[in-house]
Structure 1
Amino acid sequence: MDQKDWTLMKTLYEERNMTRTALKLYVSQPSLSYRLKNLEDEFGVSLFFKTKKGIEFTSEGEYLVHYSKDMLKQLQNMKDTMSHMGKEVSGVLRIGVSSNFAQYVLPKVLKDFSKKYPNVRFNVQTGWSTQVIELLNNSSVHVGILRSKRGWQGEKVLLRKEPLYLISKEKLNMENLPDYRLINYSTDSSLKDSITSWWADQFSEPANIEMEVDRLETCKEMVKNDFGFAVVPEICLKKDDGLYQQPIYLKDGTTVNRETWLMYNQSFKNLTVVDRFVDHLKEWDDNY
């Protein structure tokens, strides 16, 4: 087996589908089938079998998948260590980032970091906070920047707190919000929980949900065109949005905030590029 075989086994295990695996690996399906058949011949066992739902693995196949994951992790660790052995800060920095932070803040952060360390390259994966936690737990990324700290036992640094805002085309009577139309958007569970808790604290009536959209920016455009109001994090707002913007509070006067966390495994701080990036983010301020 080699690196290509390890990647093949890992990807097939994740996708459980030959067509999707072939597409993800940029190979033809016949080539994929041929390579898998060679692996089975090499070990003299069946590694997987087909079902109506897709691909399932035999016990031997499951074992080989775990072996492949371990080998890929060891290979990546070796590459990281070797690329950072010199005094110059260089190499690839692997970052997992929550989607909103990646869209509104990360480009500026990386640009400023690149000015300091031009020989650093970036491998960025975005997703919901739960997905970034999984990347951290699998050591698929060196650092994570996300909005919830649940599920992570490693190092955590609070980067900032930002208020949640109610946005609308015109000023609304906050006491009568259940009478207005709410526009929902797909987001991670931590933000949903914050909004749901705030609503339950303020109102006994359910929200009048007018629309469900898949993106925050789509939601903002709907609000701009007066189809309803929404509750969004400050990170996505601009002064020239042309929207009424009101921070939201609990009944006791507490501002409803959202936190941004930097997370990493302490062992990765041995890599110079990770150490420098962590320091860079610790100095992060509202200029971003």
Structure 2
Amino acid sequence: MNFSFEQLLAFVTVYNERSFSKAAVKLNKHRTTIGQVVTNLEDQLAVSLFERIGRSVEPTEDGELLYHYAKQTIEQARTFDKVALSLSYGGLENITIAYSSVIPHRALSDIRLQLAKDFPMMRVT
């Protein structure tokens, strides 16, 4: 089975938005493109992911199950991309942040969390 990142992203976005049109806006694609991408994924998997009801969609039982795996796969692919990017820049392993004591602790905590999310292999001190 050869499904693409684009197909999984379209599936997860349609699932979250419950609409091909809203998913298309979110992904900056045309509605018919998103519909075709999801239909192609359904054909490849031989599984119906959504029940189409007018302009809205509801996930099937199979769609509900596969959504969680698709979401995890997307998150892992994004982490892979971030780690690969970090390595391509010389494998940035450590970063030290100097800051003024007037900066709120909460802001520093948020920055550290975002750096850890964006660069999981990097140690922030």
Counterparts of 1:19 and 1:70, CA distance in 2: 24
Counterparts of 1:71 and 1:52, CA distance in 2: 29
Shift of 1:46: 1.5
Q: 1:19 aligns with which of 21, 25, 45?
A: 21
Shift of 1:53: 8.0
Counterparts of 1:53 and 1:30, CA distance in 2: 12
Counterpart for residue 74 of structure 1: 76
Shift of 1:59: 1.3
Preserved CA contact (<8 Å) 1:49 1:55: yes
Q: What's the secondary structure of 2:47's corresponding residue?
A: coil
**Unaligned 5+ residue runs, structure 1?**
90-112, 114-158, 162-258, 280-288
Higher strand share: 1
TM-score (norm 2): 0.68
CA separation of 1:35/1:16 partners in 2, compared to 1, >3 Å: closer, same or farther? same
Shift of 1:41: 1.7
Q: Deviations over 1:115-156 (max 9, x none)?
A: xxxxxxxxxxxxxxxxxxxxxxxxxxxxxxxxxxxxxxxxxx
Counterparts of 1:88 and 1:70, CA distance in 2: 25
Whichever residue aligns with residue 33 of structure 1, its letter is G
CA separation of 1:270/1:61 partners in 2, compared to 1, >3 Å: closer, same or farther? closer
Counterparts of 2:39 and 2:55, CA distance in 1: 21
Counterpart for residue 44 of structure 2: 42
Counterparts of 2:91 and 2:56, CA distance in 1: 49
Whichever residue aligns with residue 64 of structure 1, its letter is L
Counterparts of 1:40 and 1:80, CA distance in 2: 29
> 1:212-231 alignment to 2 at 5 Å?
none
Counterpart for residue 109 of structure 2: 262
CA separation of 1:160/1:71 partners in 2, compared to 1, >3 Å: closer, same or farther? same
Counterpart for residue 126 of structure 1: none
Provide the identity percentage.
Answer: 23
> 1:33-182 alignment to 2 at 5 Å?
33-51=35-53, 54-85=56-87, 86-88=90-92, 160=104
CA separation of 1:38/1:52 partners in 2, compared to 1, >3 Å: closer, same or farther? closer
Q: Deviations over 1:37-58 (max 9, x none)?
A: 2222222221111346822101
Preserved CA contact (<8 Å) 1:9 1:64: no
Counterpart for residue 6 of structure 1: 8
CA separation of 1:261/1:14 partners in 2, compared to 1, >3 Å: closer, same or farther? farther
Structure 1 position 271 matched with structure 2 position 118: no
Higher helix share: 2
Counterparts of 2:23 and 2:120, CA distance in 1: 34
Preserved CA contact (<8 Å) 1:7 1:72: yes
Shift of 1:18: 1.3
The number of aligned residues is: 110
Preserved CA contact (<8 Å) 2:79 2:120: no
**Unaligned 5+ residue runs, structure 2?**
98-102
CA separation of 1:88/1:16 partners in 2, compared to 1, >3 Å: closer, same or farther? same
Structure with higher Rg: it is 1
